[in-house]
Chains A and B, each alone.
Chain A
């Protein structure tokens, strides 16, 4: 297992009334993404625990693009990954944010 942490600055705060949201399943080629509001001084913090070692550069690129799409602040995103491809990771991240902003949990 490998633990990766990435932080992003410069996002816009989201309404604090939202509760946490989770999407995905911890199964082969898949991942779960938990999105929680938290006072992080305006940062968006992404913490990943992955079964596939050595893909830090790809995670970084995927998350940079994700953050460019969604510019969120004060958000903690926690991921348990079992070797999902970047396409699946991007999809789950978008679904998680949509679920979070939609208020469903």
Chain B
């Protein structure tokens, strides 16, 4: 007769091996290596909590320092490879296989180790895909997670950076896995419980608080006049045009510029209360002036942002906060919200090809995806209507014999040239070459052209929804590609025709005077202005100060 309880008995055996190390659920920091050796077995699938922002850095170090004679061939599943230790585990032979989403800071080392056959990549995912696979075929045996505090029963308080912890723990704890949490402090009573203690097996107080990176702070002082112009076009040419009320912004100075001219430019167009009321967004400091001006009604976040704690606490009508007053984020929930409940995604990229495919891949770096593809993709499963979604759908389907359906607005916002005169528009994405050298099944495309509705550059907006042929689409893209080789290769007559049909719109077609595009439009021109706008509640990290 088949044994139906192998996983649970394996779990019991592992817990038994670790029992002498623990006092209740508590493990001393010095015993962490012994704990990991006790509960891990070669070939285990391990989730090491590497988020966008907070990192289980103490557990990562301990894992990387294990003896590869004893623990080897681990299969790491984690959303972000942010710390050197995330690569060290492979370099030292503790782990050999990897499924992940994003590796920005470690992309170069990752590519080297993949090239040297020290890491076998299962697949590169978007966040939602990877989380989905935690519940299907990539369920962790052991999860190493991170929280702000624990009590002695193992209940966890994540603080505002809840991020991936709930999804990781849920997948592990309910499939007979083992959950180990590093916490900054062990207390008698938690401000709130984010993870029930019954789902957590061990807690260890790390010698130093876990590392958190402020990823979403953009200093308004660095926003250029060109970015202000593009932000004006986004608001007047897209947000106002479609009545975009629910949205997600990618990270960057381009989108920060939009956030910062809502209280000035959008206000002057009478758009307050009509656009940008509901957001799936990390708590960008650049959104503070718009919140204070009454533009914003709600913000749900993937994670938090350093320095925003007191401000968020004081604006519970806007942010999702617990009874303790601090924010609760949740990457999985917010990704789902961004995908299904938002009418628009706008973000930047490094390269766009003639079909509108965009990629951030560069040679020698395997950077992965993160969340942009989930945000920047039409939600094919969406069924509820909204004016913006319906209008986009009408434009895309006009003149074709199709049943009515809406479409998400997916906007790629780029200056035609990046720094050092690197063109943002190319005939062929570098992603193709990366796919060949790294032996990938597919070129790593961040946003597929078929999902892109608009491309916005300093030269104008190309509305791809209105294009009816591949040729029109190509010329619409060339028509906003400025002086890049792709832009110079345009068919001028055809581009003028597209302009007459409103498929390409220049600033002057939108009634925007370029001379108005100055930094004076920014509701905050410095980080200090953001602090002022917050009434002193925003407390930016030291590196962003000039006072």
Question: Taking the complex as a whole, does A directly touch B, i.e. does some CB pair lie under 8 Å apart?
Answer: yes
Taking beta carbons and an 8 Å cutoff, which residues of A are in contact with B?
29, 52, 55, 57-58, 61-62, 83, 85-88, 91, 94, 98
**A85 with B514: CB separation less than 8 A:** no
Q: In the bound complex, how far is the Cα of B417 from the Cα of A83, in angstroms?
A: 11
Q: Given the complex, which residues of B lie within 8 Å of A88, measured CB to CB?
A: 224, 226
**B419 with A29: CB separation less than 8 A:** yes
0/1 interface trace, chain B 408-439, chain A, CB 8 Å (1 if under) = 00000001110111000000000000000000
**A91 with B226: CB separation less than 8 A:** yes
**B415 with A85: CB separation less than 8 A:** yes
**B488 with A61: CB separation less than 8 A:** yes
Q: Which of B192-237 contact A (CB under 8 A)?
A: 224-226
**A61 with B483: CB separation less than 8 A:** yes
**A87 with B482: CB separation less than 8 A:** yes
**B420 with A58: CB separation less than 8 A:** no
How many B residues touch the partner, as a band? Answer: 10 to 19
Partner of A57 from B224, B226, B482, B488 at Cβ < 8 Å: B488
Q: Given the complex, which residues of B lie within 8 Å of A62, measured CB to CB?
A: 483
Partner of A86 from B225, B482, B515 at Cβ < 8 Å: B482
With A52-B421, A58-B483 known as contacts, the answer to whether A87 contacts B415 (CB < 8 A) is: yes
With A58-B483, A61-B488 known as contacts, the answer to whether A87 contacts B421 (CB < 8 A) is: no
Closest to A94 in B: B514
0/1 interface trace, chain B 349-375, chain A, CB 8 Å (1 if under) = 000000000000000000000000000
0/1 interface trace, chain B 378-418, chain A, CB 8 Å (1 if under) = 00000000000000000000000000000000000001110
Q: Given the complex, which residues of B lie within 8 Å of A94, measured CB to CB?
A: 514-515
**A83 with B226: CB separation less than 8 A:** no
With A57-B488, A86-B482, A87-B458 known as contacts, the answer to whether A98 contacts B419 (CB < 8 A) is: no
Taking beta carbons and an 8 Å cutoff, which residues of B are in contact with A?
224-226, 415-417, 419-421, 458-459, 482-483, 488, 514-515
Between A and B, 8 residue pairs with Cβ closer than 8 Å are A83-B420, A83-B421, A85-B416, A87-B226, A87-B417, A87-B458, A88-B224, A91-B226
**A86 with B420: CB separation less than 8 A:** no
Partner of B421 from A57, A85, A91, A98 at Cβ < 8 Å: A85
Closest to B457 in A: A87
Closest to A89 in B: B483
Q: Main SS of the interface on chain A?
A: helix
Q: In the bound complex, how far is the Cα of B482 from the Cα of A57, in angstroms?
A: 13
Closest to B458 in A: A87
**B419 with A86: CB separation less than 8 A:** no
Known: A57-B488, A85-B415. 9 other contacts (CB 8 A): A58-B488, A83-B420, A83-B421, A86-B482, A86-B483, A87-B226, A87-B416, A87-B458, A91-B514
Q: In the bound complex, how far is the Cα of B417 from the Cα of A43, in angstroms?
A: 30
Q: Given the complex, which residues of A lie within 8 Å of B421, measured CB to CB?
A: 52, 55, 83, 85
Q: In the bound complex, how far is the Cα of B415 from the Cα of A62, in angstroms?
A: 15
Q: In the bound complex, how far is the Cα of B419 from the Cα of A52, in angstroms?
A: 12
Q: In the bound complex, how far is the Cα of B460 from the Cα of A87, in angstroms?
A: 12
Tell me how far the C-beta of B259 lies from the nearest C-beta in chain A, rounded to whole angstroms.
21
Q: In the bound complex, how far is the Cα of B226 from the Cα of A94, in angstroms?
A: 13
Q: Given the complex, which residues of A lie within 8 Å of B514, measured CB to CB?
A: 91, 94
Q: Given the complex, which residues of A lie within 8 Å of B482, measured CB to CB?
A: 86-87
Q: Given the complex, which residues of A lie within 8 Å of B419, measured CB to CB?
A: 29
With A58-B483, A91-B226 known as contacts, the answer to whether A86 contacts B417 (CB < 8 A) is: yes
Q: Given the complex, which residues of A lie within 8 Å of B226, measured CB to CB?
A: 85, 87-88, 91
Q: In the bound complex, how far is the Cα of B364 from the Cα of A66, in angstroms?
A: 39
Tell me how far the C-beta of B267 lies from the nearest C-beta in chain A, rounded to whole angstroms.
25
Tell me how far the C-beta of B418 lies from the nearest C-beta in chain A, rounded to whole angstroms.
8
Q: In the bound complex, how far is the Cα of B420 from the Cα of A96, in angstroms?
A: 24
Closest to B515 in A: A98
| Residue among A83, A86, A87 with most chain B CB within 10 A | A87
The list of the 4 closest CB pairs from A to B, nearest first, reads A86-B483, A85-B417, A87-B458, A58-B483
**B483 with A91: CB separation less than 8 A:** no
Q: Given the complex, which residues of A lie within 8 Å of B224, measured CB to CB?
A: 88
Q: In the bound complex, how far is the Cα of B419 from the Cα of A83, in angstroms?
A: 9
Q: Given the complex, which residues of B lie within 8 Å of A87, measured CB to CB?
A: 226, 415-417, 458-459, 482
Tell me how far the C-beta of B488 lies from the nearest C-beta in chain A, rounded to whole angstroms.
6
Q: Given the complex, which residues of B lie within 8 Å of A98, measured CB to CB?
A: 515
Tell me how far the C-beta of A67 lies from the nearest C-beta in chain B, rounded to whole angstroms.
15
Tell me how far the C-beta of A64 lies from the nearest C-beta in chain B, rounded to whole angstroms.
10
Closest to A30 in B: B224
Tell me how far the C-beta of B223 lies from the nearest C-beta in chain A, rounded to whole angstroms.
13
